[in-house]
RNA sequence: GGGCGUGUCGGCUAGAGGCAGGCCUUCAGGUUCUCAGCCUGACAGCGAGGGUUCGAUUCCCUCCACGCCUACCA
C-alpha cells in the first residue's frame, strides 16, 4: 500500500509555523516512501475559517518548498480537499453510526451543557457530557426533534476497558475508555466536528500515516473508536512534539513569531527555515545540521523524531539563515534582496555592494540598514561620535583634511586608497584605525561598515570627497 | 481537579549497562581599519530520591517539574 500522508490545517489567521513543521515531516515521509503528501483544508468551523487565510496557507507552503501532491488548489483523485465542499458526505456517515447503535441523537441545549459542566467542576469532577440523551428512550428524543428541537449526533463511547494504541513516536499509549467523552460528531448546523470529518476524510483519502501534532493525542481514542465502529482500518499514529516558546509553553504569537509571513517578510530564506525546522526533533547521522530536503529524505524515519517539545530558538535560526545566505552566489543573493530594497536600485551598483554585505546580513531585511550610505546623496553623523573620546575636533578636522588631500589625487581603487591612507597614518604617527574610523563615520555615517576603502571605492570619489569635506567643515568652519 | 505526554550543557540534540560527543548562544584569544565572517580554545548537562548491578545518565519504582488535552474550535 502506498504511503499517503496529509496535513489538515484550519484556515484561521496567519499561516502557522507549526503547520510548516508538521508538513515537513509528512512530506519527507511521503517522499522517502515514494508516496503522496496531501493538503486538506479543515474549514468546518464556519465562524473562524476564511478564504484569505486559506490562500496564505497555499502560498506559504509553496514559498517553503513544502509542495503537496494533492490539495484544493492542485486537485487530485480523492478530492475535494476542502471540507466545506464535502459537507454532504458527513451526515450520512453520522446517521449510519446511529443506526449501528454506535452514536445517538442529542438535543441538550448549550445552557444545559454549561450548567452540567459547572456543577461537575464545582464537585471537582471531570467536565464532560453526562449522557442525558444517551439514556433517554430514542423515541423520546425523536419526539423532541420532530417538534423542532435542535439536535446533534454524539459518539457513544464505552465506559469500561481501555484503549491501547501504538504511537510511532512514543510507543504504546493507554487510555481508560471511561475517560473519553461522548464527542459531538455532527453539529446542530449539520456540519461535522473535526473528529468526524477528520476520520471520514482520512479514510476516504486513503491516509496511511497520521503524522500530526502532540495536542491531538488525547483525542486519538475517539478517532480509534470511529474507525472501529465504521469498520475501517485505522492509520499508523504518529504524534510529533509541539514547538515551544522560550518558557516551554506551546508556541504562540504573543511570545514568539508564529506567522510564516513574518519569517518571509523579515527575510529568512525558506530553505534555511525548513532546515531549521528539521533540526527541531530530528537529527541526521554524524550530527550533520546543514542539509537539504533531499538529504533528509534519505535518512528520515518517524521513529527518529524526538518526543520532547523543542524550544524554537531564534538565535539558531539566525545562524542557519547566515549559513544559507553565505552559500548563495552574489547574483542569487542580489535577486533575493530584490523585495528588500534592492529591486529599485541600479543593478550595477547592487552587484558591487552585495559582496561587501554578504557576511554581514543576518536576514535579508538588514539590506536597507546596511547599505543606505551607498545610495544616499549625503549622510548624517553625530560630530561627537566623529571626533571620538580620545581626540579633539581640531585634530579630527586635520585628519580629515589630510585624507582629502591624498585622496584627491589617488587612483580610486580600494588598494591604492588603503596604501595612501596608511601612509598618512604613519606620517601622523597614529594607528591606522584612528584615521580610518573618522573617515568611515564621515563617509558612511556609521561606525560599523564593510572595509573602508572597498566601501569608498563603491560609493565613488565625488561623493566621498564631498562627505569628507562636509564633515571637516562642521568641525572647523572655514 | 482528571487523563495523557515529556525530562541529557542556557537552547537544539547524539549516545550507550563501562571516559557523556556535536551544533547554536556566551566567554577568551587570533585574523583585521570598524562590524560581520572565518580560525583556536574555554565554560557548561544526564530533574530528584530509592532500588537492580562490580558498575546506572541508560533498566525498574516513587516523587518532582514542565507541557498538552479536558468546546456544537481545530
Architecture of A383-475 per CATH? Orthogonal Bundle (1.10)
CATH of A4-85+244-304 among 3.40.50.620, 3.40.30.10, 3.40.50.720, 2.40.170.20: 3.40.50.620
The answer to whether some atom of strand B lies closer than 7 Å to the beta carbon of A32 is: no
Distance A362 CA to B40 C1' (A): 24
Segments of A184-332 assigned E as strands: 184-186, 209-213, 236-240
Question: How many other C-beta atoms are found inside a 10 Å radius of the C-beta of residue A408?
Answer: 10
**Nearest-nucleotide field for A221 (CA, C1'):** B4
Closest residue to B23 (CA to C1') is A289
pLDDT over 70 for what percent of chain A?
A: 100
Strand, coil or helix: A347:
helix
**Nearest-nucleotide field for A251 (CA, C1'):** B67
Q: Where are the domains of chain A?
A: 4-85+244-304, 87-240, 328-375, 383-475
The answer to whether some atom of strand B lies closer than 7 Å to the beta carbon of A138 is: no
The answer to whether some atom of strand B lies closer than 7 Å to the beta carbon of A255 is: no
* CATH fold of A328-375: Helicase, Ruva Protein; domain 3 (1.10.8)
**Nearest-nucleotide field for A186 (CA, C1'):** B72
Distance A393 CA to B45 C1' (A): 53
Distance A21 CA to B66 C1' (A): 22
**Nearest-nucleotide field for A124 (CA, C1'):** B1
**Nearest-nucleotide field for A451 (CA, C1'):** B33
Distance A312 CA to B28 C1' (A): 28
pLDDT over 90 for what percent of chain A?
A: 91
Q: Which residues of A are catalytic?
A: 253
Q: Which of A110-114, A122-126, A144-148, A272-276 is predicted least confidently?
A: A122-126
Phi/psi region, residue A153 (left: phi>0; alpha: psi -120 to 50; beta: rest), is beta
Q: What is the DSSP code (8-state) at residue A291? A: -
Confidence check: pLDDT of A375 > 70: yes
Residue range A84-121, pLDDT digits in tens: 999 999 999 999 999 999 999 999 998 899 889 888 88
Q: Which of A121-125, A127-131, A269-273, A417-421 is predicted least confidently?
A: A121-125
Distance A173 CA to B60 C1' (A): 19
The answer to whether some atom of strand B lies closer than 7 Å to the beta carbon of A44 is: yes
The answer to whether some atom of strand B lies closer than 7 Å to the beta carbon of A335 is: no
A123 confidence band (pLDDT: 50, 70, 90) = confident
- Read off the pLDDT of each residue in A328-338 and give the average, rounded to a whole number: 97
Q: Cβ distance A168 to A236 under 8 Å?
A: yes
Question: How many other C-beta atoms are found inside a 10 Å radius of the C-beta of residue A331?
Answer: 10
The structure's pTM equals 0.95
The answer to whether some atom of strand B lies closer than 7 Å to the beta carbon of A437 is: yes
Confidence check: pLDDT of A144 > 80: yes
Q: Cβ distance A153 to A94 under 8 Å?
A: yes
- Common-topology check for domains A4-85+244-304 and A328-375: no
A36 confidence band (pLDDT: 50, 70, 90) = very high
Confidence check: pLDDT of A146 > 90: yes
For the segment 256-315 of chain A, residues whose CB is within 7 A of strand B: 279-281, 283, 287, 289, 304, 306-311, 313, 315
Question: What is the per-residue pLDDT for A362?
Answer: 97
Closest residue to B34 (CA to C1') is A448
Residue range A206-217, pLDDT digits in tens: 999 999 999 999
Cell numbers linked to A25:
515531516
Distance A126 CA to B1 C1' (A): 7
- Read off the pLDDT of each residue in A410-420 and give the average, rounded to a whole number: 97
Question: What is the per-residue pLDDT for A476?
Answer: 79
Please give the ipTM for the structure prediction.
Answer: 0.96
**Nearest-nucleotide field for A246 (CA, C1'):** B11
Architecture of A87-240 per CATH? 3-Layer(aba) Sandwich (3.40)
Distance A217 CA to B69 C1' (A): 8
Confidence check: pLDDT of A478 > 70: no
Nearest to A221 by CA among A240, A195, A201, A203: A195
Residues in chain A: 478
**Nearest-nucleotide field for A276 (CA, C1'):** B12
The answer to whether some atom of strand B lies closer than 7 Å to the beta carbon of A322 is: yes
The answer to whether some atom of strand B lies closer than 7 Å to the beta carbon of A420 is: no
Chain B positions with an atom below 7 A of a protein C-beta are 1-8, 10-14, 21-25, 33-38, 66-74
Residue range A443-459, pLDDT digits in tens: 999 999 999 999 999 99
Average pLDDT, chain A: 95
CA distance A325 to A399: 37
Give A33's contacts (C-beta < 8 A, 6+ positions apart): A2, A3
CA distance A274 to A292: 9
Q: Cβ distance A186 to A150 under 8 Å?
A: no
Distance A278 CA to B43 C1' (A): 28
The answer to whether some atom of strand B lies closer than 7 Å to the beta carbon of A250 is: yes
Confidence check: pLDDT of A248 > 70: yes
CA distance A417 to A403: 10
Whose cell is 529524505? That residue is A297
Amino acid at each position: 500500500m502506498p504511503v499517503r500522508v496529509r496535513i489538515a490545517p484550519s484556515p484561521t489567521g496567519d499561516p502557522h509555523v507549526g503547520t510548516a513543521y508538521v508538513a515537513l515531516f509528512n512530506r519527507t515521509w511521503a517522499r522517502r516512501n515514494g508516496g503522496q503528501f496531501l493538503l486538506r483544508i479543515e474549514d468546518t468551523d464556519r465562524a473562524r475559517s476564511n478564504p484569505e487565510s486559506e490562500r496564505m496557507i497555499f502560498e506559504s507552503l509553496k514559498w517553503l518548498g513544502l509542495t503537496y501532491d494533492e490539495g484544493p488548489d492542485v486537485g487530485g483523485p480523492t478530492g475535494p480537499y476542502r471540507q466545506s465542499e464535502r459537507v454532504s458526505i458527513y451526515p450520512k456517515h453520522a446517521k449510519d453510526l446511529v443506526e449501528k447503535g454506535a452514536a445517538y441523537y442529542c438535543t441538550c441545549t448549550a445552557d444545559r451543557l454549561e450548567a452540567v459542566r459547572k456543577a461537575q467542576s464545582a464537585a471537582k469532577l471531570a467536565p464532560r457530557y453526562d449522557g442525558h440523551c444517551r439514556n433517554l428512550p430514542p423515541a423520546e428524543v425523536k419526539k423532541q426533534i420532530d417538534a423542532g428541537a435542535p439536535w446533534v449526533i454524539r459518539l457513544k463511547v464505552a465506559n469500561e476497558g481501555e484503549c491501547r494504541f501504538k504511537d510511532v513516536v512514543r510507543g504504546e499509549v493507554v487510555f481508560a475508555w471511561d475517560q473519553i467523552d461522548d464527542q459531538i460528531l455532527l453539529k446542530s448546523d449539520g456540519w461535522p466536528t473535526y473528529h468526524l470529518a477528520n476520520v471520514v476524510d482520512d479514510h476516504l483519502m486513503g491516509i496511511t500515516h497520521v503524522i500530526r501534532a502532540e495536542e491531538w493525542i488525547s483525542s486519538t481514542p475517539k478517532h480509534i473508536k470511529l474507525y472501529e465502529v465504521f469498520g475501517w482500518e485505522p492509520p499508523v499514529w504518529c504524534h510529533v512534539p509541539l514547538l515551544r516558546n522560550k518558557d516551554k509553553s506551546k508556541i504562540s504569537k504573543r511570545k514568539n513569531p508564529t506567522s510564516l509571513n513574518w519569517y518571509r517578510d523579515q527575510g529568512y530564506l525558506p530553505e534555511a527555515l525548513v532546515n531549521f525546522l528539521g533540526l527541531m526533533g530530528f537529527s541526521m547521522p554524524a550530527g550533520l545540521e546543514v542539509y537539504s530536503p533531499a538529504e533528509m529524505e534519505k535518512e528520515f524515519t518517524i521513529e527518529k523524531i524526538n518526543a520532547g517539545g523543542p524550544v524554537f530558538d531564534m538565535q539558531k535560526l539566525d545562524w542557519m539563515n547566515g549559513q544559507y545566505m553565505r552559500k548563495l552566489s552574489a547574483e542569487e543573493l542580489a535577486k533575493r534582496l530584490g523585495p528588500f530594497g534592492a529591486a529599485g536600485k541600479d543593478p550595477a551598483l547592487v552587484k558591487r555592494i552585495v559582496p561587501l554585505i554578504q557576511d554581514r546580513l543576518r536576514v535579508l531585511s538588514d539590506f536597507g540598514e546596511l547599505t543606505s550610505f551607498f545610495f544616499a546623496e549625503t549622510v548624517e553623523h553625530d560630530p561627537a561620535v566623529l571626533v571620538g573620546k580620545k581626540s579633539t575636533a581640531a585634530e579630527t578636522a586635520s585628519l580629515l583634511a589630510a585624507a582629502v588631500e591624498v585622496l584627491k589625487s589617488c587612483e580610486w581603487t580600494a588598494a591604492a586608497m588603503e596604501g595612501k591612507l596608511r601612509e598618512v597614518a604613519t606620517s601622523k604617527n597614529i594607528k591606522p584605525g584612528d584615521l580610518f574610523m573618522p573617515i568611515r563615520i564621515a563617509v558612511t555615517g556609521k561606525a560599523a561598515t564593510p572595509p573602508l576603502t572597498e566601501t569608498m571605492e563603491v560609493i565613488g570619489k565625488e561623493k566621498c570627497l564631498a562627505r569628507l569635506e562636509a564633515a571637516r567643515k562642521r568641525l572647523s568652519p572655514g
